[in-house]
Structure 1
Amino acid sequence: MRAVPLAERADGLATLRQIETRGYLAYAYQAKVNEATWLRIAVGAFASRGEAAAFGRVFAAAEGMDFFVTRAPIRVLPGAGELDFVVTPSALWVRGGDGARKVFTFATEAPNDGRLPAAILPELSPDSDAIAFVYDDRLYTATVDGDAALALTEPGAPWVAADTDYEWRPGWSPSGRYVAFLDQAFWEYPIELWVARADGGELRCLACNRDGQSRVRWFVWHPGEDRVLFVEGFAMGTVAVGGGLYSAEMDGTVRTVIAVERGGKREDYEEIAGPLRIEDGFLHFRRVRWLDDNFEQISITDDRLPIGRL
């Protein structure tokens, strides 16, 4: 709808606020044009250029503003009841029904995080009526009701962050009552497994750096919602790709399902790796064995265990 040089972002953001007050889903993002950085102010999220152009003509006639159609770094997650969560570089919106409502603002100044929206790790609940996401080292949830997003954690305790080198996502429990997540998910950091009530009522650690050097790599909820299955391995160094398979109950009791095999010889060493998934009554995972003494080549085989044994 409008683009201004980044040096004039105050003027562009004033336009953004003006459009938002009129009830439009609007957002700002930075874009490179001929080696210069511009701030673009955009309106709407559309599945095709034709749909966007049709809206643009109606918008221009109603608001007296010119428009142009271009791709924008946004993500639309279909929600329940014909509502959508729209993740833009500057805010999270709930769209549908009689309009759109902004439920969380990512940046009060000109947005400058080119990784958004992927960097917030957005994850829909099982019924698609809520979304969990990470921003500014905290975990949040938002619902299709359009109310303001709810913070489930405080800054730094636990430290909830997205790292491009350590992939993970918040994990909803089967009923949508809880969200599991990782604390300080960075390479060579001790990484803990936590659970929060989706409504903000409770926060607890299930696997709390049990030996001072371990990190949780992957996790998945048991269908009974009374425990979380996870892979935990050694935090320091880059050789370990997985670890042992464990089960954590909601009171923090941890049980070993498959221990890491660390024999005296390299060929006797085996790890469990993810991603973990539950399908057709089985927990699916991978087994990893090293093929050389320099720990550079690995053998990966798929395996599974009946849920009834977990």
Structure 2
Amino acid sequence: MIAIAFIGAMAWLPPTLVGAQGPEIAAADAGPYYTVQILSVPAVRSDRVLRAYDDLKARGHLVYCRHAYVHERAYTRLRAGFFRDRHAAEACAETLRDKEGLHGFVTQADLAVASFGEAFDIVTTPNDLWLLSQGSLRPLYHFDSIEAAATCSTIAIGPDGRTIAFACDNRILRIDLDRDTTTTLAKGQSEDALFRCTLAWSPDGRHIAYLDRVGWELPTRLWIMRSDGDANRCLAGDDTGRTRVKSFRWHPSRLELFYVSGPTHGTVSVGGSLYRVNLQGRRDLLVPACLAERTEVCRQFRIAGDQIHYRIAHFDPDYQEITYTTQTAPLDP
């Protein structure tokens, strides 16, 4: 059966260890991967592709659609399977030809894979999220449109290891992997907002923090809600448009967050000041940006052990060049 060819080739994908932030954020696996293109028709005849997609997916096959332009003509393509080994993809192409009468060829699969160590992998296609666990493959979530798939955020796993959360199509969603249930936790404040936000679970799994905007000159605030979507409220930031929260991380063992907040407008800023805030909204300034000395904390920082590691950006007097110095500070001074 084709399903065996698909799953068998995928089951041995090597796990990738998660990063220093902890197990709640997946590690990206860059590939290369391979797939089998089995149909390519003019977009005006895409119903044929969609029927084949529905049929193969209903029988347990990982399939997805791609749009392409050839000589200024729009095409819809159907691809099947997901493999790390090209030879396995070629074997799948033969099986598709012999068992299904579908004549295809092997090509690279430009799909995102989120690896949660030994637990499972999640594959994002333009149509669906797929769960790969212990050789078993099943669809988790179907995107309503190609545009919705493009807004899918990084997948975050809860401390229980059986619940994930992600942002998609101006919503934050939670999926219980054991019950196979999907819950909408929050919706964006504008239909125009892509809402491809950063989100992360608290260490105890009872809260989810997230940023409500991602954009070059958009005000962005840090929000907190319970893991069931209740008590959704702003924890840091303002709606004046003067500042934006640019990044955040949870304290590894306490209900506190660290975040970088700085100017919204302008093409020079690379970060801002580093803060700590608890769930009651009490905020402490840890490392300030200094206008007189032309320094900022860079938006990317990490937590390892009992230390927080960050970089200071130093601008020259004309704001044409930047030099960086690396700093560390204790998490609990």
Q: Does 1:280 align with 2:305?
A: yes
- Greater mean deviation of Cα atoms: 127-136 or 280-289: 127-136
SS in 2 for 1:28: strand
Aligned to 2:139: 102
Q: Does 1:300 align with 2:332?
A: no
In structure 2, runs of 5+ residues without a counterpart are: 1-37
Structure showing greater relative contact order (alpha-carbon pairs closer than 8 Å, 6 or more residues apart): 2
SS in 2 for 1:45: strand
Q: Kindly report which structure 2 residues correspond to 1:139-218, keeping only aligned pairs within 5 A, or say none.
A: 139-145=172-178, 147-156=180-189, 161=194, 169-209=198-238, 213-218=242-247
The superposition leaves residues 228-280 of structure 1 with CA deviations (integer Å, 9 ceiling, x where unpaired) of: 101111222223222111111112222222233233xxxx2322123110013
| Aligned residue identity for 2:325 | T
Residues 79 and 243 from structure 1, CA distance in 2 versus in 1: closer, same or farther, beyond 3 angstroms?
Answer: closer
Aligned to 1:50: 87
The superposition leaves residues 115-169 of structure 1 with CA deviations (integer Å, 9 ceiling, x where unpaired) of: x56x422234276644433222222233443724332212427986357xxxx63
Matching residue within 272, 279, 296 for 1:250: 279
Percent identity at matched positions?
29
Give, in angstroms, the shift of residue 10 of structure 1: 1.8
Q: Kindly report which structure 2 residues correspond to 1:12-51, keeping only aligned pairs within 5 A, or say none.
A: 12-51=49-88
**Separation (CA, whole Å) in 1 of partners of 2:179 and 2:77:** 25
Aligned to 2:157: 125
Over aligned residues, Cα RMSD in angstroms?
Answer: 2.9
SS in 1 for 2:140: strand
| Aligned residue identity for 2:200 | G
**Separation (CA, whole Å) in 1 of partners of 2:323 and 2:62:** 49
- Greater mean deviation of Cα atoms: 119-128 or 10-19: 119-128
Aligned to 1:87: 124
Q: Is the 8 A contact 1:79 1:129 kept in 2?
A: no
Residues 112 and 221 from structure 1, CA distance in 2 versus in 1: closer, same or farther, beyond 3 angstroms?
Answer: closer
SS in 1 for 2:319: coil
Aligned to 2:169: 136
| Aligned residue identity for 2:329 | L
SS in 2 for 1:181: strand
SS in 1 for 2:327: strand
TM-score scaled by length of structure 1: 0.83
Aligned residues, how many? 295
**Separation (CA, whole Å) in 1 of partners of 2:140 and 2:90:** 26
**Separation (CA, whole Å) in 2 of partners of 1:79 and 1:257:** 32
Give, in angstroms, the shift of residue 59 of structure 1: 3.7
TM-score scaled by length of structure 2: 0.77
Residues 124 and 50 from structure 1, CA distance in 2 versus in 1: closer, same or farther, beyond 3 angstroms?
Answer: farther
**Separation (CA, whole Å) in 2 of partners of 1:159 and 1:38:** 27
Residues 284 and 161 from structure 1, CA distance in 2 versus in 1: closer, same or farther, beyond 3 angstroms?
Answer: farther
- Greater mean deviation of Cα atoms: 280-289 or 191-200: 191-200
The superposition leaves residues 186-239 of structure 1 with CA deviations (integer Å, 9 ceiling, x where unpaired) of: 222221001233443442321041765211112111112311101111222223
| Aligned residue identity for 1:298 | I
The superposition leaves residues 27-63 of structure 1 with CA deviations (integer Å, 9 ceiling, x where unpaired) of: 1111344553321112221112211222333344443
| Aligned residue identity for 1:149 | T
Q: Is the 8 A contact 1:270 1:288 kept in 2?
A: yes
